[in-house]
Amino acid sequence: MQQKKFTVIGGDLRNLILANLLVKEYHKVEIFGFKNSSFDTELIEKQGIEEAIHNSDVVIGPLPCSNDNETLNAPFHPGRIYINDVFKQLKKSQIFLGGHISKKLLHLSEINNVYTIDYLKREEMAVLNAIPTSEGAIQIAMEELPITLHGCKSMILGFGRIGKTLAKMLIGLGCKVYVEARKYSDIAWIKNYGYIPVHIEQLEDYLNGMEVVFNTIPNIILDSKQLKNINKECLIIDLASKPGGVDLEQAKTMGLKTIWALSLPGKVAPLTAAQAIKETVYNILSELGV
Amino acid sequence: MQQKKFTVIGGDLRNLILANLLVKEYHKVEIFGFKNSSFDTELIEKQGIEEAIHNSDVVIGPLPCSNDNETLNAPFHPGRIYINDVFKQLKKSQIFLGGHISKKLLHLSEINNVYTIDYLKREEMAVLNAIPTSEGAIQIAMEELPITLHGCKSMILGFGRIGKTLAKMLIGLGCKVYVEARKYSDIAWIKNYGYIPVHIEQLEDYLNGMEVVFNTIPNIILDSKQLKNINKECLIIDLASKPGGVDLEQAKTMGLKTIWALSLPGKVAPLTAAQAIKETVYNILSELGV
Amino acid sequence: MQQKKFTVIGGDLRNLILANLLVKEYHKVEIFGFKNSSFDTELIEKQGIEEAIHNSDVVIGPLPCSNDNETLNAPFHPGRIYINDVFKQLKKSQIFLGGHISKKLLHLSEINNVYTIDYLKREEMAVLNAIPTSEGAIQIAMEELPITLHGCKSMILGFGRIGKTLAKMLIGLGCKVYVEARKYSDIAWIKNYGYIPVHIEQLEDYLNGMEVVFNTIPNIILDSKQLKNINKECLIIDLASKPGGVDLEQAKTMGLKTIWALSLPGKVAPLTAAQAIKETVYNILSELGV
Amino acid sequence: MQQKKFTVIGGDLRNLILANLLVKEYHKVEIFGFKNSSFDTELIEKQGIEEAIHNSDVVIGPLPCSNDNETLNAPFHPGRIYINDVFKQLKKSQIFLGGHISKKLLHLSEINNVYTIDYLKREEMAVLNAIPTSEGAIQIAMEELPITLHGCKSMILGFGRIGKTLAKMLIGLGCKVYVEARKYSDIAWIKNYGYIPVHIEQLEDYLNGMEVVFNTIPNIILDSKQLKNINKECLIIDLASKPGGVDLEQAKTMGLKTIWALSLPGKVAPLTAAQAIKETVYNILSELGV
């Protein structure tokens, strides 16, 4: 990757680490929006947005890009950074990258003639993020359970990116891994990989013996009916984004311990999460021939 | 699965084993086309097609279904079995299943008003078949190499079904596994699974140190230019269907040992291959609500 | 295992769980020394030692058995339980089991004519305990590191029970695992198992790139000289019993983060730890033909 | 390792490969006893023993060293090489290494004042040899079974070097792995490693469902009583040296397919076997400070 000038603007610790990773690989990097961070870095923040963005090839915004569709998500910045102010500064030759960019923001960027790409929509980013998500889930299970994962019976609901990654790690720790899926081809893959396949129609027969259940499906799969099959001692960890896969009210009423764990990569492994962003940014630029 | 009546007609050892597996699971089974087989079975062949098919719920043909688009592929049958004769016997209520059914045959079945399904087109069948294919490839490598796969450097070209299955087995044996892919999302998965990713553009840099190369891509990827990067001692095993992925002429001229291994499941593990067919047939019938 | 009468007396949560596990497997169980525990159990404590021990086949004491060579280690008991009082109650036909029984206590038991066995000296107990110890070490690493263990470079010092167990789990998580050993046969095993072997004489060359180092050797191996080779960002987790394997003073001076993690099984997985004791107790009784 | 002068004398392909490996690592190497080999090498054989041994630091004989206690095991030599003739040439400063040296030969070397070491007695050699032995066993199983090892039920008798290595490879291929052992600590290790433990007393209950059984114990464990528990379709592979672990006569009578596979490393992976010898020779010399 040729030397470039990047501006990293707003975002949490991941973005600040990202800026430092880019410097280490001999790029020029300007930052803005990290004044209140206590992270140890040699990068000195620019006075304003204009200076920070000036002459930059690529501007990297936060993940998620905004919480209100108006200002950048910039928890370490004392004031507000209006996205419109950023977009106004950007020239046609510059690229704006961010994560989880809403339709409204995309529309705003079009009006301002800004070339905007959401790196979270890249498949490789989602695959790389499944790693810290799965490790975070394992950490929670280790912290909460009075037993070792080694030798314990675990069920994963769903065999998408997180399901696949988590299953491999759990079996690597010596766990007995059951995986629920709906499609016959997924059932075949689950067998192929050496886990115990559970077709959705058999789910209730299998839930009973489990000591930990991980959900990865963003639809209520553990409803009141299925929850009845789960032991009191079993821990439920829900990794799915809203609305999640567990009827939390019902689980609470039944005395089942449920943890809804969201946004794990930034929390449990910010450095790894930043590396995933860096790699995805590189891929995007390489495909654009920049 | 409810008790049914199956007719298994034509095909190689796999189909005869399939018939016996179905009997073991309490189905009624008629067979036809296995007179010359020496396989030990209690099933007694019917005199003719008509008797064999009569009252059957499901008729299972060979894999591949035909080699000439006219007769069933029936190596253990002394004469010829014309597909038209089979189709003529089939009623609307009966289902005909076969593997690798050509367009011409499909057309013929339509004319005869036969409900025909190609089970090889099912994703789970392809996934299950990747297992004996990969084990067969490993067996060949073990037989041919003067070194153990443990500790040896192997490269897999392509990360589809066979690439994924083979990579997992090789690393399970202690092999150092490099996997080539073109898509960035595949590169991310390869990293995720713990193999060493090789983007296609880096291929020539990596080929040189390999001791065995497995190709799974049905396009010439090892052309005369890439072959030059491969050591004389390296073994090349091509698992891709026609036209294969290796310029065989060129490899021969350069003194590189190449083995083009096709149709491994039926050769190395007919029983496992038959089980895969059985499972896929069950899934098809379950989806049809039969 | 035939039904028996057990008395579980003193000890921490593990012993109370052990008592409940024994009940579940249809043994008669009396307990003493758990009045202040908040653990939910249907077992009702006996009034005194005499009643608790009366007619019991096997009396199971704490792990460690005593901290002062005079009283049982009984953190949940409001008063003191003098070991001599226990030994005085024991008849020749009864067996006393405990963990980490000092020479002084053994001598005391001989004087009292008590048949005493230290279950911690059993090889299988040490092997089973290596599992929660290793998982506990992994949990700490996950909690402390800003990166995932997947893809991270880790070094294990020593290839005994914990080294072997930890290495397998780390590689199962996708870690790059280096193992240091002194004996050539251990180096051969490390290779055999697929880890990267580091002979002690090469240690300083390899330490530099590590992101986490686990020590299992109860002798200072990371002295001031070796510590110099370790990166500032590297986490050191010492799992060795006294005197440990890290010069802690020196590490602190150099700004290296070191965690000395002792007695992990009882802390991170009391239920698994209790099962290991139960299994070992069964083995002892089976060998004695009791 | 400092440059040395080696003489490789007699032995099979492994020794000739060993000579070539030593040359590649910049040692001086003389060979004798390979005239009839068709192996492609640039090494030119010396005319006689005296010339071959002259000025050599280390003389490496065959594995096994001799079949008759009189002549070297030298299948590629047109005549006979008397060991006494070799020993007579050796000076006090030279070291003689060989594999499987009988007491009689050791005595002969003492009489001749020759410093002789049997490298097969080194633990690391045995550990490294377990790798090609296990892969060879897997190759045989793949060749003989009509099913894939993936998904198949396999039992390993004994958990020594070969048992441990084979179990890891089989599980890596997706096999269901049962391991029989006698010692409780081995049972604990088997659990720890994630295999299904079978205590010798439970053996007969478990044998029945197996599809392949590997024996590693050099004592008849599969006697007529145990053989009765094995299915007709099950394949038995005996890897134990004489007397083996299977009552072969009885197995034959009962129609059980048994393969007694001996000396696999030299047969299935001569190059890997030669590397194991080289590494062990280096370790020996390093310990001697030569």
The helix/strand/coil state of D102 is coil
Question: What does the alpha-carbon distance between residue D159 and residue B263 come to, in Å, rounded to a whole number?
Answer: 37
Q: Which of chain C's residues have a Cβ under 8 Å away from the Cβ of B194?
A: 174
On whether residue C281 sits in a domain, the answer given is no
Q: Which token pair is D209?
A: 């469902």
Same domain, D105 and D163: no
pLDDT at position A1: 77
Write the CA distances from A110 to A114, A252, B3, integer angstroms: 6, 46, 62
Q: What is the pTM of this model?
A: 0.95
- Min distance C92 CA to chain A CA atoms (Å): 36
Q: Which token pair is B138?
A: 């490993």
CATH of the domain at A110: 3.40.50.720
Same domain, C205 and C97: no
Give the pLDDT band of residue B112 (cuts 50, 70, 90).
Answer: very high
* DSSP E strand boundaries for chain C: 5-9, 28-32, 58-60, 95-98, 115-118, 153-157, 176-181, 196-199, 212-215, 235-238, 257-260
Question: What does the alpha-carbon distance between residue A130 and residue A169 come to, in Å, rounded to a whole number?
Answer: 11
Question: What does the alpha-carbon distance between residue D53 and residue D29 come to, in Å, rounded to a whole number?
Answer: 10
Q: Which residues contact A196 (CB under 8 A, 6 or more apart)?
A: A176, A177, A178, A179, A190
- Residue D269 near residue D261 (C-beta atoms within 8 A): no
Give the pLDDT band of residue B149 (cuts 50, 70, 90).
Answer: very high
On whether residue D285 sits in a domain, the answer given is no
User: φ and ψ at B7, to 5 degrees?
Assistant: -120, 125
pLDDT at position A261: 97
pLDDT at C290 > cutoff 90:
no
Count of structural domains, chain C: 2
pLDDT at position A70: 95
Give the pLDDT band of residue B2 (cuts 50, 70, 90).
Answer: confident
Same domain, B89 and B211: no
Element (H, E) at B159: none
What are B233-255's pLDDT values in tens digits?
999 999 999 999 999 999 999 99
- Min distance B156 CA to chain A CA atoms (Å): 18
Same domain, C220 and C255: yes
Cis before A243 (ω within 30): yes
pLDDT at C158 > cutoff 90:
yes
Give the pLDDT band of residue B55 (cuts 50, 70, 90).
Answer: very high
On whether residue D271 sits in a domain, the answer given is no
pLDDT at position D278: 98
The sheet carrying B58-60 orders its strands as B28-32, B5-9, B58-60, B95-98, B115-118
Write the CA distances from C259 to C234, C245, C247, integer angstroms: 12, 11, 12
What are A178-187's pLDDT values in tens digits?
999 999 999 9
On whether residue C285 sits in a domain, the answer given is no
Same domain, B75 and B91: yes
Q: Which of chain D's residues have a Cβ under 8 Å away from the Cβ of B172?
A: 169, 171-174
Write the CA distances from D61 to B115, B226, D98, D114, integer angstroms: 71, 42, 5, 13
Same domain, D117 and D164: no
CA dihedral C36, C37, C43, C49 (to 10 degrees): -50
- Choosing from B95, B121, B147, the residue where a domain stops is B121
- Choosing from D92, D121, D150, the residue where a domain stops is D121
Q: Which of chain C's residues have a Cβ under 8 Å away from the Cβ of D192?
A: 127-128, 130-131, 165
Question: Percent of chain C beyond pLDDT 70?
Answer: 100
What are C255-273's pLDDT values in tens digits?
999 999 999 999 999 999 9
- Residue D215 near residue D186 (C-beta atoms within 8 A): no
Q: Does C21 touch chain A (CB under 8 A)?
A: no
- Residue C11 near residue C63 (C-beta atoms within 8 A): yes
The helix/strand/coil state of B217 is coil
- Choosing from C121, C153, C173, the residue where a domain stops is C121
User: φ and ψ at A11, to 5 degrees?
Assistant: 100, 175
Give the pLDDT band of residue C274 (cuts 50, 70, 90).
Answer: very high
Q: Does B289 touch chain A (CB under 8 A)?
A: no
pLDDT at position C1: 77
**D194 contacts A174? CB cut-off 8 A:** yes
Same domain, A21 and A101: yes
The helix/strand/coil state of A162 is helix
pLDDT at position B182: 97
Residue ranges, chain A, pLDDT below 50: none
pLDDT at position B1: 77
Q: Which token pair is B210?
A: 């390999």
On whether residue D280 sits in a domain, the answer given is no
**C151 contacts A131? CB cut-off 8 A:** yes
pLDDT at position C2: 87
Q: Does C189 touch chain D (CB under 8 A)?
A: yes
Same domain, A115 and A130: no
Residue C219 is part of which domain span?
Answer: 126-266
In DSSP terms, which residues pair with B238 in a beta bridge?
B215, B260
Question: What does the alpha-carbon distance between residue A189 and residue C199 come to, in Å, rounded to a whole number?
Answer: 40
pLDDT at position A245: 97
Question: Percent of chain B beyond pLDDT 70?
Answer: 100
Written as one letter, the residue type at A228 is: K
Same domain, A137 and A41: no
**C151 contacts B174? CB cut-off 8 A:** no
Same domain, B153 and B259: yes
Please, how many CA atoms are within 13 Å of residue C149, restricted to the half-sphere of its CB? 31
The overall average pLDDT reported for chain B is 96
Q: Which residues contact B207 (CB under 8 A, 6 or more apart)?
A: B155, B213, B226, B229, B230
Q: What is the CA radius of gyration of chain C?
A: 22
On whether residue C286 sits in a domain, the answer given is no
Same domain, B141 and B241: yes
Residue ranges, chain D, pLDDT below 50: none
CA dihedral C168, C170, C173, C175 (to 10 degrees): -120
**A165 contacts B124? CB cut-off 8 A:** no
Same domain, C157 and C261: yes
Q: Which chains touch A (3 or more CB pairs under 8 A)?
A: B, C, D
Q: Could you give the ipTM of this predicted complex?
A: 0.94
On whether residue A289 sits in a domain, the answer given is no
What are D154-210's pLDDT values in tens digits?
999 999 999 999 999 999 999 999 999 999 999 999 999 999 999 999 999 999 999
Cis before A270 (ω within 30): no
- Min distance C221 CA to chain B CA atoms (Å): 29
pLDDT at B66 > cutoff 90:
yes
**C271 contacts A147? CB cut-off 8 A:** yes
pLDDT at position D2: 87
What are C210-235's pLDDT values in tens digits?
999 999 999 999 999 999 999 999 99
Mean pLDDT, residues C99-112: 95
Q: Which residues contact C253 (CB under 8 A, 6 or more apart)?
A: none
Q: Does D151 touch chain A (CB under 8 A)?
A: yes
Partner-chain residue, chosen from A123, A187, A279, that has the shortest CB–CB distance to B124: A187
CB atoms within 10 A of CB D144: 12
Beta-sheet pairing, A58-60 with A95-98:
parallel
On whether residue C211 sits in a domain, the answer given is yes
- Residue A4 near residue A27 (C-beta atoms within 8 A): yes
Partner-chain residue, chosen from D17, D139, D148, that has the shortest CB–CB distance to B272: D148
